[in-house]
Amino acid sequence: MKEILTNNRDETQKFAALVAALSSPGLVIALNGDLGAGKTTFTQGFSRALGVTERVKSPTFNIMNTYHTHHFPIYHFDAYRLEETGAQDQGFEDYVGTDGVTLIEWPQYMKDLLPNNRLELIFTRGKYDDSRKIQINGVGSAVEIERQL
């Protein structure tokens, strides 16, 4: 487990760009943290670093958005609404961990679909300022990414 501290959204997006540079198809990134912690901000920085120019926002209502890059597709999930319905039988397994990189906000609501190899990030808001603590835990083969960050 590693840990970094960012002081503003730019720093979180710079960190996301680093993660993007180490990413390859099949990677799943679980973005843990409360509302406003910076999960979507991270995804924006990640996507922009790979050349996505369209606006990246939380796919709360449609659960998943796809962004195309020159490298691989980005599957961006926001599982928040699955708390009540569950993630079963919606075809999500056709995306998670397949040909693209998958970023999942509220991964605790998609537990059954999380692969063993994944990068776990935990975002925690600073109490008195804009800082965010980001804990990094590479599970399985993603331990190599944690090592390089």
The residue ranges that bind Mg ion (CB under 5 A) are 39-40, 58, 105
Binding site partner of 8, from ligand ADP, Mg ion, none, Cβ cut-off 5-8 A by kind: ligand ADP
Helical spans, DSSP H, in 59-99: 82-85
Choose between 33 and 100: whose C-beta lies nearer to Mg ion: 33
Q: Which of residues 91-130 bind ligand ADP (CB under 6 A)?
A: 105, 130
Here the tokens at position 80 are 């928040």
Question: What burial class does residue 94 get, using C-beta atoms within 10 Å of its C-beta: 0-12 exposed, 13-18 middle, 19+ buried?
Answer: exposed
Choosing among ligand ADP, Mg ion, none, which partner's interface includes residue 37 (Cβ < 5 to 8 Å by kind)? Answer: ligand ADP
The alpha carbons of the chain give a radius of gyration, in whole angstroms, of: 14
Which stretches of 1-149 are DSSP H helices? 9-21, 39-49, 82-85, 143-148
Q: How many residues bind ligand ADP (CB under 6 A)?
A: 19
By CB atoms closer than 10 A (0-12, 13-18, 19+), residue 19 is buried
Tell whether residue 76 is a contact of ligand ADP (CB under 6 A): no
- Residue 58 or 69: the one with the smaller Cβ distance to Mg ion is 58
> 37, 123 in Cβ contact below 8 A?
yes
Question: Binding string, 20-59, against ligand ADP, x = CB under 6 A?
Answer: -------------x-xxxxxxx----------------x-
Residues forming the site for ligand ADP (CB under 6 A): 6-9, 11-12, 33, 35-41, 58, 105, 130-132
